[in-house]
Chains A and B, each alone.
Chain A
Amino acid sequence: MRVGVSWLAEVTDVADGATAEDVAAVLVRVGLEEEGLHGGDVSGPVVVGRVLSAEPEPQKNGKTIHWCSVDVGEEEPRGIVCGAQNFGAGDLVVVSLPGAVLPGGFAIAARKTYGHVSDGMICSTAELGLGEDSDGIVVLGELLGAAADGVAPGDDATALLGLDDRVVEVNVTPDRGYCLSVRGLGREHAHGRGLDVATAFRDPLAGVRVPSGPGERDVVLADEGPLDGRPGASRFTARTVRGVDPSRPTPWWLRRRLVQAGMRPVSLAVDVTNYVMLLVGQPLHAYDAARLDGALVVRRARAGERLTTLDGVERALHPEDLVVADGAEGARAVGLAGVMGGASTEVTAATRDVVLEAACFDPVSVARTARRHRLPSEASRRFERGVDDAMAAAASQLAVDLLVEHGGGTAEDGLTDVGGPAERPVVALPVGEPARLVGVDYAPERVRALLEQVGCAVSGGPGAPDALAGAAAAGAGVGAWSVEPPSWRPDLRQAADLVEEVARLDGYDRIPSVLPRAVPGTAGGVLAGGGLTARRRAVRSLARALAEAGLVEVASYPFVSPERADALGLPDGDERRRALRVANPLREEEPLLRTSLLATLVDVLRRNVGRGADDVALFELGSVALPAADRAPSPRPGVDRRPTAEEEAAVRASVPHQPLHVAALLVGARTPRDWEGRGRSADARDAVELALLVGEVLGVPLTAAAEADRPPFHPGRCAALRVAGGPAAGAVVGHAGELAPRAVAALEVPARTVALELDLDVLLGALPGPPRPGALATYPVVKQDVALVVDASVPAADVEEALRRGAGLLLEDCRLVDVYAGEQVGEGRRSLAFSLRFRAPDRTLTGAEVAQAREAAVAAAGEATGAVLRGS
């Protein structure tokens, strides 16, 4: 909401000399956040001038400029160059003299141009900040009309036109619909200054006299489809003004206020309705009476009904849309109620008789219609937030008065007024409630006074029974107020709402600061002892470990294109193709939510490479969305009570599975080329090692096994990671390896990109308890090496696993130390050398014991993998 300070000052006491900044500071104190300050940035000599002569001078560039002599009230006229064409000798214009600064920081100085010294500037509407749509010169006679009489050259144009009037723009929160008006802002401004509204605020509706007789235009409220029992229109007034002169312009000051508020002047009738809406917050609509047929009927739209709205768009109406209609039994829709009028009955340049509508429409009905037709309007914005239902007739009267005064019309004596204000709810406010919620001990008189400032009718108080609860009260701090909120505050519905009013008007800066003492463990369960959950702790350790391992953490948006699944090479039917779709995606081409982190992490990789990075190692921790194949709609149980266990379970179950994943991508050097050597490129083994590191950090060891069929991975360079032991043993938690060449090409990432992605939910669900290290053996260690020859196709992990199993409990460690393939071991075979360490916890091992364990290990490997001792 934007308002010029001068207009605001008409309805409320603004401090002497207050700047726009000061006004904004007052408003922010009561919750109206400053969105910006506009206009008024004119300084220096800007005066009225009379054009004495204007000689056209054609230029080589095809333009014609005017060399003007302008009387600015000085002894001698000034010579000024002007390029505009819409003025002539004798016109009164606005001249900015050297030293003036116009909106946008334009400083005026005498300068040579087109062969003349231009000693000032004749100003246009846009240059003075009076409007954005005109590049014509301001001709005061046209602008001010009769008000231009008596204006003389040399007069201060800044004061004359209010050029230095600044506009305050504030953000109005959805609960404060009444602040979408100068009336509302004026009241709030008085609150912000701590002034008594009775004296500091002048309600524009106060004292407006409304006719009581019946009106000319019949109105029928015929809503047969109320939403949740609320009628579409609770009140509808109509007023006719005849004989308006369509050639009469809107007065300059009124147009100026519309422009300051960000609205476009259109015609007197429309401008007046907009002006009154800005002033008091009542949306009004003006119909051309001659184009209306009979009574106005408020009803729901009929099946198949269409309406062309004022913006020229023909709309198919929905049976829930509330319309205003005319004709026999309301056959023709002439407007979307509370949203936008229809083109067929629009006020035109020929309109002489006007019917003014001021009504009160159901916020929900208006909101749905505006949303359904994507038609947010100044009217719908106000109705959605709730319009004071007591002011329709008075607001209409303000508009009538303006039309009569400036359009020369005659108002009908009567008023059609159907329906009426709703009954006000009474809210019980326990006397101690403000202190209980705010922590400030407000005196009861203070609470009452503040609520009355807001406009509430307050009765009861300390010692008075809670009228609603019927509880008898006794003693200080008990009892309740009965509070009837004013008609413009439909948002005040419960005690907490009133508490906010008290705290807000008293000032949030009066609230003390007290650090609360949490009682750890009070909520039991996972919260016992407070602090991080085991899951959060584990994820932290993991992130740090990966960073220490040389990976850089990034976060990508979860949005992907459907084509990404193709690029990744996911086969039809792959469950990763089953993705949730965003109905209103940020980018039309990326409507899906990722089912794997790699799907979006590759974009980050590409961005890094595109920016010149050669060696990139990235990881991301984030969730993916894995919807079930058969998804039921999410239920929406009522919220006036706790949902039943079944309802709650159904809501929770409707939320798709979203496991936390970790993914990494590496390209280029793992250790870079430098003077020590050629470095080492990241390869699939790095990915596998990092994947194993994840398990290690979390205390859930993983094992790697070859996996030939897991896009986007290379079939020969991919390992599946499984949980090694414990209750989740054997569960596949993800994959690591090199991306398949086809995926590399489709994803446009560098060749030999390696990757990993693991589902952490499985691992986090298998987190071990506190580690139990046991006693450390201090007896001597015995080292033994064995070299085994196996078929080249036998995975080293299988051999190691068999060795470990065969060696038994005396084996402390087993490490692959050499891999050899060549003539000595024969075609299609390879030699794997392992270093074994044996130790007993309770004695020094004998040679025989070690030899026996070693033999058992070799035998087990032989049995499991066909391994034979090399050289035997």
Chain B
Amino acid sequence: MSAPNKDFDPVQVTPLDAEQVEGAVADALAAVAAAGDLEELAAASRAHGGDRSPLALANREIGALPPSAKADAGRRMGQARRRVADAVAERRAVLEAERDAAVLVTEALDLTQPTSRRPRGARHPLGLLVERVEDFFTGLGWSVLEGPEVEAEWFNFDALNFGPDHPARQMQDTFFVDPPEDGLVLRTHTSPVQARALLDHGAPLYVAVPGRVFRTDELDATHTPVFTQVEGLAVDEHLTMAHLRGALDALVVAMLGEGTVTRLRPAFFPFTEPSAELDVRCPVCAGTGVVAPGAGARAQGAATAAEEAASTRADDPAGEGAPCRTCGGTGWIEWGGCGMVNPHVLRAAGVDPERFSGFAFGMGIERTLMFRNGVQDMRDMVDGDARFSRRFGVEV
């Protein structure tokens, strides 16, 4: 270390020699570039930019220079030290990025390993489908009502114009609560809520009624003794069958999609007059009543002695196709019953049939699920096998 050049002797100080400074910078830059990690960089930074580094020492000599040379040397030294500092910063950024990247690599997880931390549940598709129907009607401004499953015979039959001995009463195979004389049944349809709603709220009235209903059918692929209906009832001034058709047409599109073909067919229900059945063209066979050829050949057994002896038969060669099982070969699927509310029903509920008219309809949700979602066997809907609900998740 040189002594301070107090008397401003214009002697060229060696460490400030341009070449020496340049050399020190070159050494520093080389050391910085060679630093392989942040520790080495810190060491290089200390050695070439620290207080005891050649450049620092040289910098101190500036004070010994004659005033005329100070500015020049100062500028030169400043540039040199900045170059080194910049190089260190640049190198540090590189090394830090490398270090960070390396850490992330060591922290990597195989996120393709499947986990099962959240148990998966599901809704039952019948409930989901009911909600869809409800949403359709609430969208039209209708209300949604419910009623009891064990119901008074009066609501289930009498108030709906089922005479006590009319065959229509037998048409709906009814579960009776014991003793039958007590007049309680498992409701055979959601229609008793028509009478309840009219008595409760009067007209005008626009309501949809979902619910479980009961008939003494044996459970098989296309029948279940406990099933789900949605009922619609609109009573107002000036309502006609045209409005019935309009509501059903819109519902059909909402549930089954644009382009679904329907027809109204005369029918009979005690609580509507005129009455109709709404049929939907079978989506499986496109209304032809027949599915793909080749499926028609039946197993053939010898039915009679003559037949056995002379069983000169071959399997069905015609190959005309088998009757469609979804629609029973008719090309149409019965979707729901409907009609104009019978004046008797209005009267029994205290509504003036000369001022108000209305329409009602009911449709089966199980059947709808069958042909809307291609469910082949109704037993899947009632068994409660969790796999069935899971296939739907939370949407239907």
Across-interface contacts of B300 in A (CB, < 8 A): 104-106
Across-interface contacts of B347 in A (CB, < 8 A): 639-642
A546:B313 contact, CB within 8 angstroms: no
Q: A508-B265, A582-B177 are in contact. Are A127 and B150 (CB under 8 A)?
A: no
A135:B310 contact, CB within 8 angstroms: no
Complexed CA–CA distance, A370 and B344 (Å): 27
A609 → chain B, closest Cβ, in Å? 10
Any B CB within 8 A of the CB of A525: yes
Q: A524-B201, A580-B177 are in contact. Are A83 and B306 (CB under 8 A)?
A: yes
Any B CB within 8 A of the CB of A513: yes
B307 → chain A, closest Cβ, in Å? 6
Complexed CA–CA distance, A166 and B254 (Å): 39
Name A135's contact: one of B206, B303, B342 (CB within 8 Å). B303
Any A CB within 8 A of the CB of B375: no
The interface centre, meaning the residue of B177, B212, B383, B389 with most chain A CB atoms within 10 A of its CB, is B177
- The contact string, 1 if C-beta is below 8 Å from chain B, for chain A 788-827, is 0000000000000000000000000000000000000000
Any B CB within 8 A of the CB of A519: yes
Q: Which residue of A lies closest to B243 (CB)?
A: A516
Q: Which residue of B lies closest to A366 (CB)?
A: B165
B386 → chain A, closest Cβ, in Å? 4
Across-interface contacts of A437 in B (CB, < 8 A): 240-241, 274, 340, 357
A550:B310 contact, CB within 8 angstroms: no
Complexed CA–CA distance, A109 and B205 (Å): 67
Complexed CA–CA distance, A580 and B126 (Å): 26
Name the segment of B6-14, B61-69, B111-119 touching the other chain: B111-119
Any B CB within 8 A of the CB of A33: yes
B123:A544 contact, CB within 8 angstroms: yes
Any A CB within 8 A of the CB of B264: yes
Any A CB within 8 A of the CB of B311: yes
Name A126's contact: one of B178, B303, B384 (CB within 8 Å). B303
Across-interface contacts of B177 in A (CB, < 8 A): 580-583, 593
Any B CB within 8 A of the CB of A509: yes
A33:B384 contact, CB within 8 angstroms: no
Any A CB within 8 A of the CB of B151: yes
Complexed CA–CA distance, A443 and B306 (Å): 63
Any B CB within 8 A of the CB of A89: no
A516:B247 contact, CB within 8 angstroms: yes
A592 → chain B, closest Cβ, in Å? 10
Complexed CA–CA distance, A524 and B199 (Å): 13
Interface residues of B in 203-219 (CB under 8 A from A): 203-207, 212, 216, 218
Name A104's contact: one of B218, B247, B298, B394 (CB within 8 Å). B298
Q: A364-B165, A438-B242, A555-B382 are in contact. Are A127 and B306 (CB under 8 A)?
A: yes
Complexed CA–CA distance, A516 and B344 (Å): 23
Complexed CA–CA distance, A641 and B117 (Å): 62
Any A CB within 8 A of the CB of B276: yes
Across-interface contacts of A777 in B (CB, < 8 A): none
A815 → chain B, closest Cβ, in Å? 21
Any B CB within 8 A of the CB of A578: no
B143:A655 contact, CB within 8 angstroms: no
Q: A637-B154, A642-B199 are in contact. Are A532 and B138 (CB under 8 A)?
A: yes
B208 → chain A, closest Cβ, in Å? 10
Complexed CA–CA distance, A367 and B178 (Å): 22
Q: A536-B134, A555-B126 are in contact. Are A127 and B384 (CB under 8 A)?
A: no
B123:A547 contact, CB within 8 angstroms: yes
B357 → chain A, closest Cβ, in Å? 6
Any A CB within 8 A of the CB of B245: yes
Q: A122-B306, A617-B119 are in contact. Are A651 and B313 (CB under 8 A)?
A: no
Complexed CA–CA distance, A33 and B263 (Å): 13
Any A CB within 8 A of the CB of B74: no
Across-interface contacts of B127 in A (CB, < 8 A): 543, 553, 555, 621
Complexed CA–CA distance, A480 and B134 (Å): 41
Any B CB within 8 A of the CB of A419: no
Name the segment of B42-50, B85-93, B97-105, B168-176 touching the other chain: B168-176
Name B241's contact: one of A30, A439, A517, A674 (CB within 8 Å). A439
Name the segment of B23-31, B52-60, B75-83, B180-188 touching the other chain: B180-188
Any B CB within 8 A of the CB of A577: no
Any A CB within 8 A of the CB of B36: no
Q: Which residue of A lies closest to B180 (CB)?
A: A583
A107:B274 contact, CB within 8 angstroms: no
Any B CB within 8 A of the CB of A450: no
B307:A124 contact, CB within 8 angstroms: yes
Any A CB within 8 A of the CB of B350: yes
Q: A500-B274, A536-B134, A555-B384 are in contact. Are A617 and B121 (CB under 8 A)?
A: yes
A540:B263 contact, CB within 8 angstroms: no
B293 → chain A, closest Cβ, in Å? 13
Any A CB within 8 A of the CB of B283: no
Interface residues of A in 615-645 (CB under 8 A from B): 616-618, 621-623, 625, 631, 633-637, 639-643
Complexed CA–CA distance, A34 and B179 (Å): 37
Name B178's contact: one of A137, A494, A582, A586 (CB within 8 Å). A582
B313:A552 contact, CB within 8 angstroms: no
Any B CB within 8 A of the CB of A60: no
- The contact string, 1 if C-beta is below 8 Å from chain B, for chain A 517-538, is 1111011111100111101100
Across-interface contacts of A544 in B (CB, < 8 A): 123, 394
B243:A515 contact, CB within 8 angstroms: yes
Interface residues of B in 229-244 (CB under 8 A from A): 234, 236, 238-243
Any A CB within 8 A of the CB of B140: yes
Across-interface contacts of B138 in A (CB, < 8 A): 530-532
B384:A173 contact, CB within 8 angstroms: no
Any B CB within 8 A of the CB of A604: yes
Complexed CA–CA distance, A100 and B273 (Å): 49
A439 → chain B, closest Cβ, in Å? 3
Complexed CA–CA distance, A131 and B242 (Å): 47
Name B274's contact: one of A499, A516, A543 (CB within 8 Å). A499
Any A CB within 8 A of the CB of B3: no
Name A114's contact: one of B120, B151, B309 (CB within 8 Å). B309
Any A CB within 8 A of the CB of B22: no
Any B CB within 8 A of the CB of A548: yes
Across-interface contacts of A554 in B (CB, < 8 A): 124, 384, 386, 389
B23 → chain A, closest Cβ, in Å? 59
B274:A585 contact, CB within 8 angstroms: no
Across-interface contacts of A611 in B (CB, < 8 A): 385
B205:A523 contact, CB within 8 angstroms: yes
B298 → chain A, closest Cβ, in Å? 6
Q: Which residue of B lies closest to A503 (CB)?
A: B274
B265:A536 contact, CB within 8 angstroms: no
- The contact string, 1 if C-beta is below 8 Å from chain A, for chain B 338-356, is 0010111001111000000
A363:B165 contact, CB within 8 angstroms: yes
Any A CB within 8 A of the CB of B316: yes
Q: A107-B314, A536-B144, A648-B199 are in contact. Are A655 and B306 (CB under 8 A)?
A: no
B150:A658 contact, CB within 8 angstroms: yes
B264:A508 contact, CB within 8 angstroms: yes
Across-interface contacts of A28 in B (CB, < 8 A): 265
Complexed CA–CA distance, A591 and B177 (Å): 10
Any B CB within 8 A of the CB of A656: yes
Across-interface contacts of B314 in A (CB, < 8 A): 107-109
Complexed CA–CA distance, A637 and B155 (Å): 10
A-B residue pairs in contact (CB < 8 Å), sample of 10: A82-B306, A83-B309, A105-B298, A495-B343, A504-B266, A580-B150, A613-B387, A633-B182, A656-B148, A674-B116
What 8 A-B pairs come out closest when comparing CB atoms? A550-B119, A83-B309, A31-B266, A439-B240, A439-B242, A642-B350, A500-B274, A173-B268
Given A135-B306, A580-B184; 9 other pairs, CB 8 A cutoff: A30-B266, A83-B305, A84-B305, A173-B268, A508-B265, A582-B176, A635-B183, A641-B348, A651-B154
B residues with a Cβ closer than 8 A to A are: 113-124, 126-127, 131, 134, 138, 140-146, 148-155, 158-159, 161, 164-168, 170-171, 175-184, 186, 199-207, 212, 216, 218, 225-226, 234, 236, 238-243, 245-247, 249-250, 263-268, 273-277, 296-298, 300, 303-318, 328, 330, 334, 340, 342-344, 347-350, 357, 382-387, 389-390, 394
